[in-house]
Amino acid sequence: MNKNYVFSLLGLFILAFGNAQNYKKPLVSAIKEADLRTDMYQLAADQFWGREAGTLDELKVSMWLADKAKEAGMKPAGDNGTFFQFFDMYRHQVIPQSTLKIGDNSLKLWKDFLVAEPVNASLDAEIVYAGNTEPEDLAKLNIQGKILAINASDKNIPKDMTLFVRRYPGFVRNKYYNKASELGAKAIIFITDDISEQSWVEVLPQMTRGSYGVEGLREKITNNIPVLWIKRENAGWVKNNPKASLSLITETYQYPSVNIIGKIEGTDPVLKNEYVLLSGHQDHDGIRHPVKNDTIYNGADDNASTCVAMLAMARAYKKQPGKRSILFVFHGAEERGLLGSRWHAAHPVVPKENIVAVLNGDMIGRNENNEAALLGGNSPHKNSEELVKMAEDANNESTKFKYLKDWDSPSHAEYFYFRSDHLPYAKIGIPAIFFTSVLHDQYHTPQDESENINYKKLFKMTEWMYRTSWKVANETVRPKVISNFSLER
C-alpha cells in the first residue's frame, strides 16, 4: 500500500477522532454516593416538616438549599444577586360560611358534604336523582336548570394507577361533568360508592385546601358548575326530587413561594452565554393525615432525590466546568401545580433563547437498579431528536438502564409526562426531557423517607443525568426542537 496514502488515512482518522473527542470526559468520580446519602438525610428530615409550598417550612428548606448550593460551588442566579426567585402563589378555598340545604336538612361543609373544587355559586333548584345512570344515558333525563344527583360509578375508569383511591373522585367527576354541563345541569351531587367511601379521608384535606395558581397563569376561580359529594348512608336526602339551596363562597389567599437558582459558568468565551438547565423541585406535601402512625410527608424520593443529585452534579461541574454554563433550578410549589417551573418559564433569569435544554429529574431514587424511564424520549412527547440521542448515548456509555418506555406512552394511565417541571419549558419550545425511576407504593405517603431510598440507584440516575448534561454543555451544536412538536393530552 502507498505510504503517503496510509499517512493520509491516518491523518483523516486522527482528525475525525479529534472532532468526536474535542472535550474532556465527564468527571463522574466527583459524584459520591456518600454525599447523596448525607444530603438526603438532611433535606428529607422531619425538621423541615414535609416542605409544603407556601409555608415557613418551604422557606426554611430554601435557605438550607441556598447554603448547600453555595458550598457546592454555584454562584447565585436568582433575583438581586441572591439564590432566590420569589413568586406569589394563590390559594382558592371554599370558606366555612358556605351552606347547603336539601329539603329540610341543613348540611355541614366538610362533614356532611364535600366540595370538589373552589367555585362561587348561589342557586335554588330541584334535585333530579339519576341513580346508576351512566353518562351516555343522561340525555334521557330532564336536568336542564336542575341539580343532578347520581351514584358514583367506576365503570370505564382505569384502576391500574398509583393513589387510585385518592384520585378516584376526580375521575368520577370527569366522567360525568361535560355531559351534565352540556345538558344544562346547575350542579352535580355524587353519592359515594365503595371506592369513594374509602377515599373520603384521603380527599378531605385536598378539597379543604382548595386549588392553587400563580399570578398571570392561573389566578382566577373557575366558572365550573359545583361538584359535591355526600355519603351513601345519606342518599335519602336527594331522592324524591327535593329542592336544594346552595351557597358556595370562595376566598383567595396569597402566599410566598420561591425557586432556588444557581449557576456554574462555562469555560468557552462564546458558549458560556448559553445554559443547560438542570431541574428538580424542592417542595412536598407537608403534614397530612396519618399513615402507619406518621403524619410528615418527607418526600425523600419525591423530590429530594433530584435536589441532592443536582448538588452532586454541581460539585462535579465546580471541579471541571463545561463549555456552556449550567443553570440549576430547584423549583418551588411543584406539588401545587408546577407553579415554580411555570413561573420561571415565564420569567427566566437568563434569556429564554439562551437556554439550550432542560434536563428535569423527579423521583430518581427507587425501584430496580437497572430500569428507568426517559420521558420525552419517544413520540409524541419527544421534542428534540438531538437531546434524546445525547441521553441515550450517555446511558449506553455507562449506566445501561433498560428503558421503561410504556411510561412515556400517551395511553399510560398515569399521564406521567405531564406531571413534572420539564413541562412548562417544553410548552415554550425548549428541548426538554424528564429522568425518573417511576412511582412506587410509598409515593405521596409519610413512608417516602431517606431510609427507603435505593442509594445505588440514585447514584446511577445522577450519573446518567450528569453524563447527559455534560454532552449538552460541550457539544458544538445545541439540540434543536422538532419543528412540528405540539403537546396534547
Q: Has residue 132 been placed in a domain?
A: yes
Kindly indicate the confidence band of residue 413, based on its pLDDT and cuts at 50, 70 and 90. Answer: confident
266 and 411 fall within a common domain: yes
287 pairs with which residues across the strands?
296
216 and 281 fall within a common domain: no
pLDDT of residue 60: 97
Cite the DSSP H helix spans in 255-384.
305-319, 339-346
107 and 202 fall within a common domain: yes
282 and 398 fall within a common domain: yes
Q: Has residue 116 been placed in a domain?
A: yes
Q: Has residue 393 been placed in a domain?
A: yes
pLDDT of residue 22: 86
Domain boundaries, position 52: 23-91+255-474
pLDDT of residue 221: 65
What is the C-alpha separation between 136 and 192, in angstroms, rounded? Answer: 20
CB 453 within 8 A of CB 363: no
Tell me the per-residue pLDDT of 40-92, one tens digit each, with 9 for 90 and over. Answer: 999 999 999 999 999 999 999 999 999 999 999 999 999 999 999 999 999 99
pLDDT of residue 103: 95
pLDDT of residue 138: 97
Which of 197, 213, 248 is the C-terminal boundary of a domain? 248
Environment class of residue 33 by beta-carbon count within 10 Å: exposed (0-12), middle (13-18) or buried (19+)? Answer: middle
Tell me the per-residue pLDDT of 244-276, one tens digit each, with 9 for 90 and over. Answer: 999 999 999 999 999 999 999 999 999 999 999
306 and 224 fall within a common domain: no
Q: Has residue 208 been placed in a domain?
A: yes
Q: Has residue 299 been placed in a domain?
A: yes
What is the C-alpha separation between 97 and 119, in angstroms, rounded? Answer: 14
Q: Is the pLDDT of residue 133 over 60?
A: yes
SS3 175: helix
Q: What are phi and psi of 452, to 5 degrees?
A: -100, 0
For the domain that residue 76 is a member of, what is the CATH number? 3.40.630.10
323 and 181 fall within a common domain: no
Q: Has residue 334 been placed in a domain?
A: yes
Kindly report the pTM of this predicted structure: 0.91
105 and 69 fall within a common domain: no
SS3 338: coil
Q: How many domains does the chain have?
A: 2
For the domain that residue 207 is a member of, what is the CATH number? 3.50.30.30
294 and 441 fall within a common domain: yes
What is the C-alpha separation between 44 and 65, in angstroms, rounded? Answer: 12
384 and 358 fall within a common domain: yes
pLDDT of residue 17: 45
Kindly indicate the confidence band of residue 7, based on its pLDDT and cuts at 50, 70 and 90. Answer: very low
pLDDT of residue 3: 47
The distance of Cα 21 from the centroid of its chain, to the nearest Å, equals: 36
Label the pairing between strands 286-291 and 211-214. unpaired
pLDDT of residue 489: 72
131 and 265 fall within a common domain: no
Q: Has residue 146 been placed in a domain?
A: yes
What is the C-alpha separation between 245 and 126, in angstroms, rounded? Answer: 9
135 and 211 fall within a common domain: yes
224 and 102 fall within a common domain: yes
Q: Has residue 488 been placed in a domain?
A: no
SS3 87: strand
Which of 213, 248, 283 is the C-terminal boundary of a domain? 248
Average pLDDT over residues 271-289: 97
pLDDT of residue 362: 98
Over pLDDT 70: what percentage of the chain?
Answer: 94
372 pairs with which residues across the strands?
403
Which of 248, 265, 294 is the C-terminal boundary of a domain? 248
Compute CA distances 220 → 120, 215, 223, 252, 253, whole Å.
11, 9, 9, 9, 12
Q: Is the pLDDT of residue 440 over 90?
A: yes
